Chain A
């Protein structure tokens, strides 16, 4: 347990990030979290199975049903509470109440979706700030891998080979950049074709 470590790798390019995720998963590292400045289906696809689909839909559905019930109960019960005939209409006249029911459905459904968003994304053990980099909201991508200490070498190797620009082990920078290209044969059977573990990106304006 105490052996678990987290390493954060920072990338400039999304395709390198996705290749890395695929490689890590093929080597059995499933506890991966990816950061990006944009939502990306590619990243989601690369990480699939690792995460169950978001539960926010249940919040939406339950909120909408609850809202409609509240709207119906509110209009009907208050009308019955003081039964007064207006415009020769029945005490409980359903058509106008549908409008109130509809609005309550949207209101409570919307608010519970918001609650669902907060509960599902924030309170669910969000990332520790030491495993975050300010550039993720700008132009960098990143992955956070949790692994057993024994696998450290292997993980580091994969991350370096696949073009990460910076590695942070539990918040400490491991090295600035991959200085020397190490064209090793170990990272062989990576499914994505192109990328040889070559030199780092050179023009970094």
Chain B
């Protein structure tokens, strides 16, 4: 960045963002088409399941929540660090968030859009999904507000709405910048409508910055509440392995942990492809790596304390459940999770590793895998060995479930691929805030 003349930094940033929105290359199209093929396979699996019945989904008696609910929790978790980076770090005035928060926020919106599919896919009669919503009906019945599953409906739909609006609000000034530069009538009209007539006058900025602040204040407790509510889906039941008070903080930390890993997974290739080295700097990766270390420690602590409490409580069912996790049929999943989430992130204590993007990328992938397994362990292992030995049983995901899971990744990446080509993936206005203000008479950037 130092080579760019001070006065040109602003216009260079605009140029960089505009360059991302040019006509997609052959490479982009090939990735996109491969992605659509995977998505088509996922859709095929879903249609097959709807026609044939939930039996194709590997569910067997004691384990009636499987991969779909794992996917749901996984994707909601991925969503969380987007809001963390955009809202919580905004309130803490962490500067390293500026250049990555748009990508993280987009990830949030698309991850929630993916997560929202799974409770519906998981239904035996998915066309009746609207029964979850409280609406006046002929029978005069209302939903059961005491049920954690209903809290989930409210929490996740609120989260989806608020994070989408927050995402959009953040983009308004940047869309206006695109509107002012873009050529082509259709594009001009489209971006003009989306920019809501933004002109960047002082009145707009003062209203905007305040509204953004209030939104961040809303989003911060929301992000904590949503994953707490998701954890209550489990913790409110008396199943051994689920029924613990540690679940909400454990889930929130885990969500942020996995989400940060996903942001790194997305940012590293994006930075390379679009040559964003001037904006997404090593400082950003440093910041994220350090937060990964922190959240990894919280998650690892939760893994250990679960064991301790299971032993210390003297509750035989709880204790046996945890022993089974570590030594039973699913021990491989358990130890993979322990390795990926508890051990691997500690490599990031070393600066050399933090600054090596290839290793960082691999670590982030391992964390994603580990966090998927974490949800799988919590859900499946706990259900497969509940109280009565007579009802114990094993569960193996079917190809339909795995197909839909792969399809969900394709669904997520489809949105992301479209996003980087149509909307500003870097926040123009916010990055300008950390660039030096152009001044004729010198002086430093005030802050």
> Which residues on A are within 8 Å of B, measured CB to CB?
12-16, 33-44, 47, 51, 53-54, 56-57, 60, 64, 74-75, 78-79, 81-82, 86-87, 89, 93, 96-97, 99-100, 102-104, 106-107, 109-111, 113-114, 116-118, 120-122, 124, 126-127, 132, 134-139, 144, 163, 194-195, 201, 205
Contact = CB atoms under 8 A, between A and B. Distances in A.
Interface of A is mostly: helix
A100 B146 CA distance: 10
A102 B144 CA distance: 17
A15 B206 contact: no
Contact of B145 (A12, A97, A136): A97
Contacts of B146: 86-87, 89, 93, 96
A143 to B, nearest CB: 9
B140 A82 contact: yes
Contacts of B210: 54, 56-57
B440 A15 contact: yes
B5 interface: yes
A120 B207 contact: yes
Contacts of A137: 14, 173, 176-177, 179-181, 198, 200, 428
Given A12-B7, A110-B162, A47 B202 contact: yes
A86 B176 CA distance: 52
B225 A103 contact: yes
A44 B206 contact: yes
B145 A75 contact: yes
15 contacts: A12-B438, A13-B438, A14-B438, A33-B203, A36-B200, A51-B206, A56-B214, A86-B146, A100-B150, A118-B196, A126-B197, A135-B180, A139-B7, A139-B14, A194-B441
B443 A132 contact: no
B199 A103 contact: no
B329 interface: no
Interface of B is mostly: helix
A134 B441 contact: no
B279 interface: no
Contact of A96 (B5, B145, B207, B441): B145
Interface residues of B, number: 66
Contact of A82 (B11, B142, B181): B142
A113 B168 CA distance: 13
Given A75-B145, A99-B151, A138-B10, A111 B206 contact: no
B391 interface: no
Nearest to B435: A38
Nearest to B7: A12
Contacts of A56: 207, 210-211, 214
A35 B218 CA distance: 28
* CB-CB nearest 3 A-B residue pairs: A139-B10, A137-B177, A78-B142
Contacts of A99: 151, 154-155, 225, 229
B346 interface: no
